[in-house]
Structure 1
Amino acid sequence: MKSHMLASLALASMALPAMASAHDGSTPIIAPGNTALTVSAEGKSTRKPDLALFTAGVTSQGSTAGEAMSTNSADMSRVIAALKKAGIADRDIQTSNLNLNPVYAPQRQLPDGTIEPAQPRIVGYQVNNTVSVKQRNLNDFGKVIDTLVTAGANQVNGPSFAMDNPDAALDEARVEAMQKARARADLYAKAAGMKVARIVSINESGGYAPPMPVMYARAQSAGMAAPAPPIAAGEVELNASVTVVFELAP
Structure 2
Amino acid sequence: MIKAEDSRERHQGRRGLLRLAALAIFLALLSSCQGERRTISVSGFGTVTFVPDTVSFTITVKNVSPTLEEATALTKEATQRVVELCKKYGIGDEDIVTSYANSGKEYANQYGEGEPKFLGYASTQSTAVSYQDLPKFEEFSRELLALEITSLHDLSFSHSKYSDYASEADMLALDDAKRAAEKIAARMKIGLGEVLSVASTGNSPGMEYGRGYETQLMAKDMGGGIALSPGILTATKRVDVVFGIR
Q: Per the shorter chain, which TM-score range?
A: 0.7 to 0.9
Tell me, which stretches of 5 or more residues in structure 2 are unaligned?
A: 1-12
Residues 199 and 239, structure 2, Cα contact 8 Å, conserved in 1: yes
Residues 97 and 131, structure 1, Cα contact 8 Å, conserved in 2: no
Instruction: Classify 1:232/1:168 alpha carbon distance in 2 versus 1 (closer, same or farther; 3 Å).
Output: same
1:205 positional shift: 2.2
Counterpart mapping for 1:208-247 below 5 A: 208-212=204-208, 214-216=210-212, 217-219=215-217, 226-247=223-244
The higher radius of gyration belongs to 2
Residues 203 and 242, structure 1, Cα contact 8 Å, conserved in 2: yes
Residues 51 and 134, structure 1, Cα contact 8 Å, conserved in 2: yes
1:226 positional shift: 3.0
Residue in 1 aligned with 2:142?
A: 146
1:96 positional shift: 4.4
Runs (4+) off by over 6 Å = 9-13
Instruction: Classify 1:214/1:72 alpha carbon distance in 2 versus 1 (closer, same or farther; 3 Å).
Output: same
Residues 72 and 101, structure 2, Cα contact 8 Å, conserved in 1: no
Tell me, which stretches of 5 or more residues in structure 1 are unaligned?
A: 1-5, 110-114
SS at match of 2:164: helix
1:131 positional shift: 0.6
Instruction: Classify 1:147/1:15 alpha carbon distance in 2 versus 1 (closer, same or farther; 3 Å).
Output: same
1:177 positional shift: 0.5
Pick the aligned partner of 2:75 from 68, 72, 77. Answer: 72
Which structure's residues are more often helix, by fraction? Answer: 2
1:20 positional shift: 8.5
Instruction: Classify 1:20/1:193 alpha carbon distance in 2 versus 1 (closer, same or farther; 3 Å).
Output: closer
Counterpart mapping for 1:110-125 below 5 A: 115-116=113-114, 118=115, 120-125=116-121
The letter of the residue matching 1:80 is V
Residues 40 and 181, structure 1, Cα contact 8 Å, conserved in 2: yes
Q: What percentage of residue pairs aligned between the two structures are identical?
A: 22
Instruction: Classify 1:184/1:171 alpha carbon distance in 2 versus 1 (closer, same or farther; 3 Å).
Output: same
TM-score scaled by structure 1? 0.74
Aligned residues: 227
SS at match of 2:94: helix
Counterpart mapping for 1:111-190 below 5 A: 115-116=113-114, 118=115, 120-190=116-186
Higher mean displacement: 207-216 or 123-132: 207-216
1:179 positional shift: 1.3
Aligned-partner Cα distance in 1 for 2:226–2:244: 56
SS at match of 1:234: coil
1:230 positional shift: 2.6
The letter of the residue matching 2:234 is E
1:102 positional shift: 2.5
Aligned-partner Cα distance in 2 for 1:224–1:102: 30
1:247 positional shift: 2.7
Aligned-partner Cα distance in 1 for 2:223–2:190: 66
Higher mean displacement: 172-181 or 191-200: 191-200
1:162 positional shift: 0.9
Aligned-partner Cα distance in 2 for 1:179–1:150: 51
Tell me, yes or no, if structure 1 residue 81 matches structure 2 residue 57: no
Instruction: Classify 1:237/1:96 alpha carbon distance in 2 versus 1 (closer, same or farther; 3 Å).
Output: farther
Residues 53 and 213, structure 1, Cα contact 8 Å, conserved in 2: no
SS at match of 2:84: helix
Residue in 2 aligned with 1:91?
A: 94
